[in-house]
């Protein structure tokens, strides 16, 4: 048979070959479809993840905050710089696994690089004030992320709670996060947990003196404000009149340990409730989670617990 006489593949065979290349060849080679790439016939377009633009901005903002924190003195500056870099890594990895092109992430983060973010003027107080304003602004915008994928709502809420805590610790006052009073089981359960923690800190205050007592009194004020916020929407929460002590409390050191345990356990409980809050109440739940978990994070730090990039989540 002459070369020109060989059978030529039909249209159906060609179509199958192209589809096979799109389904197997590209995936095997790790080739990713970019949003702005020329459209190739028969190859599917990439579907953006929910609220992708906002998540890209949040990822870049974490890097920007890490840069700002680098200009702030110890101990808060280095601690915040480390956790913001961790947030950036977690968000970037999550988006890459969701199919977001690395080029999109790199382009978004480029404006947050150290060369693009001018360092604050000389003076640690000014640097801390700049960072505090940036953290507060981020916390105040938490409710804008209600459109992210349901699986990301709790981590996004925890991240904004960290921003709330950082702004509070840097400036000495809580940021102005929109207040939407919530009702429902999740809010009621958290109010009960806060009431139980308050009782334990009351015991710690009563069985201590000096600096430990002063710290316990400050935490009590914060927990009572938190409880008032949690029941403001009419959540049917019962008051806790007493709970068993987890260990004997006889010395100031015991009292300090008790208060630390109470607020640390409350942080874990609040973190576990984030999914219910945000899933049920959307934007209002995100704002409430930012305020409530952020306030608890401030108190855990008051008792020597390191700040976390996603407080309350394991």
| The pLDDT value given to residue 240 | 76
The residues, any chain, with a CB within 8 Å of residue 120's CB and separated by 6 or more, are: 68, 71, 126, 127, 130
CA dist 110 and 127 (Å) reads 22
Token duo for residue 115: 């060369």
| The pLDDT value given to residue 22 | 33
Which H or E run includes 94?
helix 76-97
| The pLDDT value given to residue 40 | 53
pLDDT digits (tens, 9 = 90+) for 279-291: 999 999 999 999 9
Ranges of the chain whose pLDDT falls below 50: 1-35, 37, 113-124
CATH topology for 185-302? Ferritin (1.20.1260)
pLDDT digits (tens, 9 = 90+) for 202-257: 999 999 999 999 999 999 999 999 999 999 888 777 777 789 999 999 999 999 99
| The pLDDT value given to residue 183 | 85
**Cβ contact 35:49 at 8 Å:** no
Whole-number Cα distances in Å, 73 to 119, 170, 225, 281, 283:
13, 11, 30, 38, 34
Boundaries of every domain in the chain: 52-171, 185-302
CA nearest neighbour of 128 among 168, 177, 88: 168
Question: Is residue 57 classed as helix, strand or coil in its secondary structure?
Answer: helix
| The pLDDT value given to residue 179 | 86
**Cβ contact 291:177 at 8 Å:** yes
Tell me whether the omega of the peptide bond preceding residue 75 falls within 30 degrees of 0, making it cis.
yes
The residues, any chain, with a CB within 8 Å of residue 254's CB and separated by 6 or more, are: 207, 247, 248
């Amino acid at each position: 048979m002459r070369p020109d006489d060989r059978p030529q593949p039909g249209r159906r065979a060609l179509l199958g070959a192209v589809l096979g290349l799109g389904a197997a060849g590209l995936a095997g080679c790790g080739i990713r479809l970019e949003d702005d790439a020329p459209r190739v016939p028969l190859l599917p377009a990439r579907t953006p993840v929910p609220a992708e633009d906002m998540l890209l901005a949040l990822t870049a903002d974490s890097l920007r905050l890490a840069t700002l924190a680098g200009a702030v003195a110890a101990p808060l500056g280095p601690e915040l710089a480390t956790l913001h870099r961790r947030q950036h890594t977690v968000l970037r990895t999550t988006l890459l696994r969701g199919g977001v092109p690395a080029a999109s992430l790199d382009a978004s983060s480029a404006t947050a690089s150290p060369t693009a973010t001018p360092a604050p003027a000389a003076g640690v107080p000014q640097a801390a004030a700049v960072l505090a304003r940036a953290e507060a602004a981020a916390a105040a915008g938490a409710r804008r992320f209600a459109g992210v994928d349901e699986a990301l709502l709790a981590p996004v809420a925890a991240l904004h709670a960290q921003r709330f805590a950082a702004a509070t610790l840097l400036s000495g006052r809580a940021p102005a996060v929109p207040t939407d009073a919530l009702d429902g089981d999740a809010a009621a359960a958290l109010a009960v947990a806060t009431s139980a923690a308050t009782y334990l800190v009351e015991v710690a205050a009563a069985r201590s003196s000096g600096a430990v007592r002063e710290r316990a009194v400050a935490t009590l004020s914060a927990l009572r404000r938190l409880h008032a916020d949690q029941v403001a929407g009419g959540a049917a929460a019962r008051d806790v009149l007493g709970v068993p002590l987890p260990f004997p409390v006889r010395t100031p050191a015991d009292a300090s340990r008790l208060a630390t345990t109470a607020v640390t356990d409350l942080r874990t409980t609040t973190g576990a409730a984030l999914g219910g809050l945000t899933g049920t109440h959307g934007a209002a739940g995100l704002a409430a989670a930012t305020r409530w978990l952020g306030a608890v994070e401030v108190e855990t730090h008051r008792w020597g617990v390191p700040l976390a990039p996603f407080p309350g989540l394991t």
